Structure 1
Amino acid sequence: MDTATVPVIGFIGFGEAAFHISNGLKNAGIQTIHAFDVMADDPNAGVMIKKRMETAEVHKCNYLEELLENSDIIFCATSAKFALSIAQQAAKAITKDKIYVDLNSASPSTKKEVATAIGTAGGLFADAAVMAPVPPHGHKVPMLVSGSGALQFAALMKTYGMDITFINEQAGSSSAMKMFRSIFMKGFTSLLLETLSASYQAGVDKEVLASIQETLSGSTLEELANLLITRTAIHAERRVTEMGEVVATLNEMKLDSTMSQATKTKLQNIVHMDLKNYFGGKVPANYSDVLEAIEELSKIK
């Protein structure tokens, strides 16, 4: 299929994300959208699903095979725990001219298994990592895509306003990027919550925020990584002691210290690796030097 041909879209699962993406695609010029949801005829959950289908002017398919037969691009928008089993079922009916797009927040290994199932059946696969909440953005929600059909999928759907960034042809790459980014984003939020819970109770939350802002401002994230990670490799032992005092203080205040305890544990692991001795007591130049050292020392142990 070339970009001049209007693709027929199919959704496996028609929850909130599928509904908002469908609405956007309809307004952008996609004429026909099919949807199959195993809960569509459920007396309780089915009421909302059918209402969404009617609102988005989506054709309800009664069987998965019906959707696969009549759609050019198939989005799977169900749940990570069902991603592989649905793909294996879809593989029984998918043909080589179809692009199967998995939107589920599944692990890279699951996406690779999905890609194998679809690819073995002759279909093309796109591992799509959704990088923001869908409702505010609709079909324009930012996505990272990888896999055998990712480039073709991006070329087709950018025509209709979708915000798609092609990563590579390896299934799992997009999901890996989303997952590893979440370590920071969710972890940062949790750290911020623990930091502010304590500083607010102590009446210094504004001052603490201003101090952190001063440290973070004016540097790129890579520059901060080069500063913070390299120095931690050398000064981890002292920082373990400091975090021990932090944990004790939070406990005295009767506040949760989960993140601080985890930080202390992470730093203690660095001490056990003896990175300070590995680098001869000198701060390395780049964060990647630390990562390479950790990988090397981990293999030795």
Structure 2
Amino acid sequence: MNSPIIGFIGLGEAAFHITSGLKKEGIQVIYSYDVQADHPVVGPIIQQRAEEAGVILVESLKDLVEKSAIIFCATSAKYAVSIAEQVANDINSEKIYVDLNSASPSVKREIATIINNNGGRFVDGAIMEPVPPYKHKVPIYVSGDGANEFEKQLNEFGMNITFIKEEAGSSSAMKMCRSIFMKGFTALLLETLTASYEFGVDQDILKSIEKTLRNQPIEELANLLITRTAIHAERRVTEMDEVIKTLEDIHASSRMSQQTKAILQEIVNEDLKGYFNNTVPQSYTDVINALNKNVVK
């Protein structure tokens, strides 16, 4: 099989691990341009990564785009649009531009328009797991007009790419929605374990949470927790008052618990209990529809 010439904008941790894996799979030529390659502190790290991964550093974005058939952008969401604008004039129909940054669907659609208007094919890439353990095999969901071809070419070299749909932003929507849970869950764990460690019960709490999370499929757990909350929110607001007092007593942060109380109070204010006639609804979607469509009011 033919080895596509690949270019990476940015040679950070994710790019380093992905390129390292791809070289071992038989990708012969990988270029990279990193704006900090000559930085006195960061530069030596980038140079070392390039040497270890077998990546050729180039002097400009223009040079990278001209040399590469598949161009990955793996920098930061806040630079993603401006980088696309910088490379747009050097994009053509033979090139696939892949944005791997953790950006919103609207940002990915904006980048797609920039690339498409200049004749290029765009891929909205959403990395769904931490990169280092998986390297190039990290699960990546893709969408956009170049996604099908990208999946076909790179999966032949060991990548784990899953096509979602042609509409750019679809895969990033999955990434953003997942991040609501994963980042929020991390923050909840930190608040929970800070308090439980102070009380000397952190190991017991971890075992209790593990039992709850592992006891049933996640959809069943969502149905159990969300539907019952629709009916019992008022009592849980009172319970969260006691939780917040507990955290304040040990001078621990209660930010996540304060927000939990606020969300529960919103459910009380919407009178979901009355709307559902004091009967637990069948599905979490019933609760979401009641809130989002304002059917309660």
Name the CA shift for 1:210/1:13 in 2 (closer, same or farther; >3 Å).
Answer: closer
TM-score normalized by the length of structure 1: 0.93
1:35 aligns with 2:8: no
Name the CA shift for 1:236/1:26 in 2 (closer, same or farther; >3 Å).
Answer: same
Q: Deviations over 1:202-239 (max 9, x none)?
A: 23333333333333333100001111101111111111
Name the CA shift for 1:46/1:198 in 2 (closer, same or farther; >3 Å).
Answer: closer
Other-structure match for 2:70:
73
Other-structure match for 2:120:
123
Structure 1 segments unaligned to the other structure (5+ residues): none
RMSD in angstroms over aligned alpha carbons? 1.7
**Structure 2 counterparts to residues 124-203 of structure 1, below 5 A:** 124-203=121-200
**Structure 2 counterparts to residues 268-287 of structure 1, below 5 A:** 268-287=265-284
Other-structure match for 1:93:
90
2:107 to 102, 107, 110: 110
Name the CA shift for 1:41/1:217 in 2 (closer, same or farther; >3 Å).
Answer: closer
| Structure-2 separation of matches of 1:40 and 1:16 | 14
1:208 to 205, 224, 229: 205
Q: Deviations over 1:10-58 (max 9, x none)?
A: 1111222222211111110001111112222334432322232233222
| Structure-2 separation of matches of 1:239 and 1:179 | 28
- Which is further off, 212-221 or 183-192? 212-221
Other-structure match for 1:242:
239
By how many angstroms is 1:147 displaced? 1.1
2:214 to 217, 233, 236: 217
Secondary structure class of the residue paired with 2:8: strand
TM-score normalized by the length of structure 2: 0.94
Other-structure match for 2:16:
19
Secondary structure class of the residue paired with 2:35: coil
Q: Percent identity?
A: 60
| Structure-2 separation of matches of 1:148 and 1:99 | 9
| Structure-2 separation of matches of 1:160 and 1:145 | 16
Secondary structure class of the residue paired with 2:164: strand
| Structure-2 separation of matches of 1:79 and 1:207 | 39
- Which is further off, 167-176 or 220-229? 167-176
By how many angstroms is 1:128 displaced? 0.9
| Structure-2 separation of matches of 1:43 and 1:212 | 46
1:57 aligns with 2:54: yes
Name the CA shift for 1:208/1:60 in 2 (closer, same or farther; >3 Å).
Answer: closer
Secondary structure class of the residue paired with 1:11: strand
By how many angstroms is 1:166 displaced? 1.5
Q: Deviations over 1:153-212 (max 9, x none)?
A: 111111111111211112112112111111111222222222222223223333333333
| Structure-1 separation of matches of 2:208 and 2:100 | 39
Structure 2 segments unaligned to the other structure (5+ residues): none
1:85 maps to a residue whose letter is S
Secondary structure class of the residue paired with 2:119: coil
For this pair of structures, how many residues does the alignment match?
297
1:30 maps to a residue whose letter is I
| Structure-1 separation of matches of 2:54 and 2:209 | 49
Secondary structure class of the residue paired with 2:229: helix
1:57 maps to a residue whose letter is G
| Structure-2 separation of matches of 1:35 and 1:204 | 49
Secondary structure class of the residue paired with 2:294: helix
By how many angstroms is 1:119 displaced? 1.0
2:34 maps to a residue whose letter is D
Name the CA shift for 1:138/1:210 in 2 (closer, same or farther; >3 Å).
Answer: closer
2:62 maps to a residue whose letter is E
Name the CA shift for 1:209/1:61 in 2 (closer, same or farther; >3 Å).
Answer: closer
Name the CA shift for 1:43/1:271 in 2 (closer, same or farther; >3 Å).
Answer: same
Other-structure match for 2:290:
293
